[in-house]
Amino acid sequence: MAADYLEVLNEQQRAAVEHDGKSLLILAGAGSGKTRVITTKIAYLISQKNVNPFSILAVTFTKKAAAEMKERAQLLEERSRFCQIRTFHSWGAYFLRKYPAFAGVAPDFTVYDDEDMVTLLMKAVPSLKKKDASHYVKKISLAKDYCILPDSDELFTVDSDSRFQEIYTAYQERLRQTGNVDFGDLILLPYIVLKENEKIRRQVHDRYKVIMVDEYQDSNVAQFNLLKMLSGSDENTGTYVCVVGDDDQSIYKFRGAEVRNILNFQKDFEGTDLIRLETNYRSTQEILDCADSVVKNNHQRIGKTLVSYRGKGMQPALVFLPGQDDETEFCSELISQSVEKGGSYSDWAILYRTNAQSLGFETEFLHRKIPYEVVGSLKFYEREEIKDALSWISFIANPRDEIAFRRIINKPVRGIGPGTQDKILSAAIGKNIAETLCSVEMSKKARSGAEAFKAVYDELLALIPQPEETEQSNASLAQSAMGVFDDEKEAETAEGQKEDGSDGFRLSSFVEAVIKKTGLEDFHAAQDEIGGTQKVLNLQELVNSAVLYECNRKGLLEFLDHISLDRTLETQEELSGEKQDRVTLITIHNTKGLEFPKVIITGMENEIFPRMPDNGEELEEERRLFYVGITRAKNELYFTSCSVRRLYGRTNAMSPSVFLKELDENKIRILGQKPRSFSSGAAGGDPVAEKYSVGTRVYHDDWGYGQIVRGAYSETSDDDEREWVISVSFDTGGIKKFLPKYQGSSLIVCSDD
| Structural domain contains residue 608 | yes
Catalytic residue among 249, 420, 534, 591: 249
pLDDT band with cut points at 50, 70 and 90 for residue 497: very low
pTM of the model: 0.77
| Structural domain contains residue 197 | yes
pLDDT at site 632: 98
> Strands (DSSP E) along 149-265, which ranges?
181-182, 210-213, 240-245
Task: Give the integer Cα–Cα distance in Å for 364 and 328.
Answer: 7
CATH, residue 389: 1.10.486.10
Catalytic residue among 77, 159, 182, 214: 214
Query: Mean pLDDT over residues 293-320, rounded?
Result: 96
The domain boundary residue, chosen from 671, 697, 732: 671
Pair 248, 295: CB distance under 8 Å: yes
pLDDT at site 480: 37
Considering the domain architecture, whether residues 654 and 714 belong to the same structural domain is answered as no
The domain boundary residue, chosen from 563, 591, 607: 563
Query: Mean pLDDT over residues 146-161, rounded?
Result: 93
Considering the domain architecture, whether residues 544 and 626 belong to the same structural domain is answered as no
pLDDT at site 664: 92
Comparing 456-465, 469-478, 521-530, the range with the smallest average pLDDT is: 469-478
Query: Mean pLDDT over residues 667-687, rounded?
Result: 72
Query: Is 315 assigned a catalytic role?
Result: no
**Pairwise pLDDT comparison (575 vs 375), residue with the higher score:** 375
Catalytic residue among 145, 182, 215, 550: 215
35 annotated among ligand-binding-site residues: yes
Query: Mean pLDDT over residues 169-195, rounded?
Result: 95
**Pairwise pLDDT comparison (395 vs 485), residue with the higher score:** 395
Per-chain mean pLDDT for the chain: 87
pLDDT at site 3: 55
The domain boundary residue, chosen from 643, 671, 699: 671
CATH, residue 726: 2.40.10.170
DSSP letter (8 states) at residue 656: B
29 annotated among ligand-binding-site residues: yes
pLDDT at site 209: 96
| Structural domain contains residue 524 | yes
Query: Is 34 assigned a catalytic role?
Result: yes
pLDDT, one tens digit per residue, over 604-617 is 999 899 987 667 88
**Pairwise pLDDT comparison (45 vs 730), residue with the higher score:** 45
Considering the domain architecture, whether residues 536 and 641 belong to the same structural domain is answered as no
Query: Is 35 assigned a catalytic role?
Result: yes
Which residues constitute the domain of residue 697? 687-749
| Structural domain contains residue 296 | no
Tally of domains within the chain: 5
pLDDT, one tens digit per residue, over 559-569 is 887 887 676 66
256 annotated among ligand-binding-site residues: no
Considering the domain architecture, whether residues 86 and 170 belong to the same structural domain is answered as no
Considering the domain architecture, whether residues 390 and 438 belong to the same structural domain is answered as yes
CATH, residue 228: 3.40.50.300
Query: Is 249 assigned a catalytic role?
Result: yes
Considering the domain architecture, whether residues 427 and 528 belong to the same structural domain is answered as yes
Task: Give the integer Cα–Cα distance in Å for 545 and 534.
Answer: 17
Considering the domain architecture, whether residues 62 and 209 belong to the same structural domain is answered as yes
**700: amino acid identity, one letter:** H
Is 451 a residue whose pLDDT tops 60?
yes
pLDDT, one tens digit per residue, over 31-57 is 999 999 999 999 999 999 999 999 999
pLDDT band with cut points at 50, 70 and 90 for residue 697: confident
What residues contact 166, with CB distance under 8 A and at least 6 apart?
A: none
Is 494 a residue whose pLDDT tops 80?
no
pLDDT at site 692: 86
pLDDT at site 572: 63
pLDDT at site 254: 84
Considering the domain architecture, whether residues 435 and 529 belong to the same structural domain is answered as yes
Task: Give the integer Cα–Cα distance in Å for 585 and 595.
Answer: 13
328 annotated among ligand-binding-site residues: no
Which strands, in side-by-side order, build the sheet including 317-321? 372-374, 583-587, 348-352, 596-601, 633-642, 317-321, 669-671
pLDDT band with cut points at 50, 70 and 90 for residue 256: confident
pLDDT at site 745: 78
| Structural domain contains residue 479 | no
32 annotated among ligand-binding-site residues: yes
For 632, half-sphere exposure in the C-beta direction (CA atoms, 13 angstrom radius) is 29
Query: Mean pLDDT over residues 113-140, rounded?
Result: 91
Is 717 a residue whose pLDDT tops 70?
no
Which strands, in side-by-side order, build the sheet including 23-28? 84-87, 56-60, 210-213, 240-245, 23-28, 272-277
Pair 221, 145: CB distance under 8 Å: yes
Catalytic residue among 632, 645, 646, 661: 632
pLDDT band with cut points at 50, 70 and 90 for residue 681: very low
591 annotated among ligand-binding-site residues: no
pLDDT at site 684: 45
pLDDT at site 685: 53
According to DSSP, the β-strands at 307-308 and 279-280 are parallel
pLDDT at site 578: 47
Considering the domain architecture, whether residues 630 and 591 belong to the same structural domain is answered as yes
Is 473 a residue whose pLDDT tops 90?
no
Is 498 a residue whose pLDDT tops 90?
no
Considering the domain architecture, whether residues 226 and 173 belong to the same structural domain is answered as no
Task: Give the integer Cα–Cα distance in Å for 675 and 661.
Answer: 12
> Strands (DSSP E) along 266-377, which ranges?
272-277, 279-280, 307-308, 317-321, 348-352, 372-374
123 annotated among ligand-binding-site residues: no
pLDDT band with cut points at 50, 70 and 90 for residue 2: very low
| Structural domain contains residue 241 | yes
Considering the domain architecture, whether residues 268 and 316 belong to the same structural domain is answered as no
| Structural domain contains residue 287 | no
Considering the domain architecture, whether residues 405 and 554 belong to the same structural domain is answered as yes
| Structural domain contains residue 435 | yes
